[in-house]
Amino acid sequence: MKGRRMAAYLVSGIVFGLSSGLAPGPLLTLVLTETLRHGKKGGIRVAFAPLITDLPIVVLSLLIIAHLTRTHLAMGIISLFGAGFVVFLGYETFFSPGIEHGESASHMRSLRRGVAVNLLNPHPYLFWMAVGSPIVIRAYHEGMPQAVSFVVGFYLMLVGSKVMLALLTASARHLLLGRAYRLCMKGLGIILWLFAAVLAWDAVGFLAS
């Protein structure tokens, strides 16, 4: 049973990480532009930026949410807000128009640029406050391995997917603009909506108790 719960949290982390990693946004755009300008090494450096920027975001979010989730009412409200945010993520993912290749005007190093962009991107803050922290706290109550499995799955796919896209950009740009990418994003969007339904159901349970 414990192994199944670990696997469930791992899969949740993988889905959220993959959808976040592939979704068009400032950091992904920077991965692609740095790859086009400086080669795959430049894009890969940017892809690792979340491992530097997200630690304070995650810790602060966990501290705040852990304090708020002491009552069922607060947990219900947070779960409801999280469900709404995941619906929005699903919408962005499902209707993603594809990846655009832009030009970057700054002369900062690739990793420093990635760190700056991610720190100024509101999505990591919203995700960890509304979705990630409540899941990690719930998993922690079941056991530390469950919580770790979610975080590992999330960042493995968040960084790994961007590294993969950097490699594809360097070797086969046409794959990023094809039908396969759009179908992948639509599938991830549907999965995110299913997760939103689960969070909404949890919210109803907390608010009704």
pLDDT tens for each residue of 13-66: 999 999 889 887 778 877 877 777 777 888 898 899 999 989 888 998 888 888
Q: What is the pLDDT of residue 148?
A: 95
Collapsing DSSP to helix, strand or coil, 16 comes out as helix
Q: What is the pLDDT of residues 148-193, one digit of tens each?
A: 999 999 999 999 999 998 888 788 655 555 676 777 678 878 887 8
Encoded amino acid at 159, one letter: V
pLDDT at 142 over 70: yes
Mean pLDDT of 3-21: 90
Residue with tokens 């950009």: 169
Structure-model confidence comparison of residues 131 and 92, the more confident one? 131
User: 117 pLDDT exceeds 80?
Assistant: no
Per-residue pLDDT tens over the stretch 123-135: 888 889 889 999 9
Number of residues written out for the chain: 209
Q: Can you give the pLDDT at residue 151?
A: 96
Query: Would you place residue 103 in the very low, low, confident or very high pLDDT band (cuts 50, 70, 90)?
Result: very low
More confident residue, 27 or 139: 139
**Cβ pair 146, 140 in contact under 8 A:** yes
User: Do residues 78 and 68 touch, judged by C-beta distance below 8 A?
Assistant: yes
Q: What is the mean pLDDT of residues 92-109?
A: 58
Q: Which residue has the tokens 């719930």?
A: 138
Quote the pLDDT of residue 155.
96
Please tell me the predicted confidence (pLDDT) of residue 107.
41
Give the residue from 93, 85, 90 showing the smallest Cα distance to 199: 85
pLDDT given at position 104:
44
- H/E element holding 30? helix 26-38
Amino acid 88 reads F
What is the per-residue pLDDT for 105?
Answer: 41
Contacts of 144 (CB under 8 A, 6+ apart): none
Query: Is a pLDDT exceeding 80 seen at residue 96?
Result: no
Q: Could you tell me the pLDDT band of residue 87, with boundaries at 50, 70 and 90?
A: confident
Q: Count CA within 13 A, CB hemisphere, residue 158.
A: 24
CA distance 76 to 69: 9
In contact, 127 and 85? CB cutoff 8 Å:
yes
Going from N- to C-terminal start, the domains of the chain cover: 2-208
3-state secondary structure of 115: helix
146 and 5 Cβ atoms separated by less than 8 Å? yes
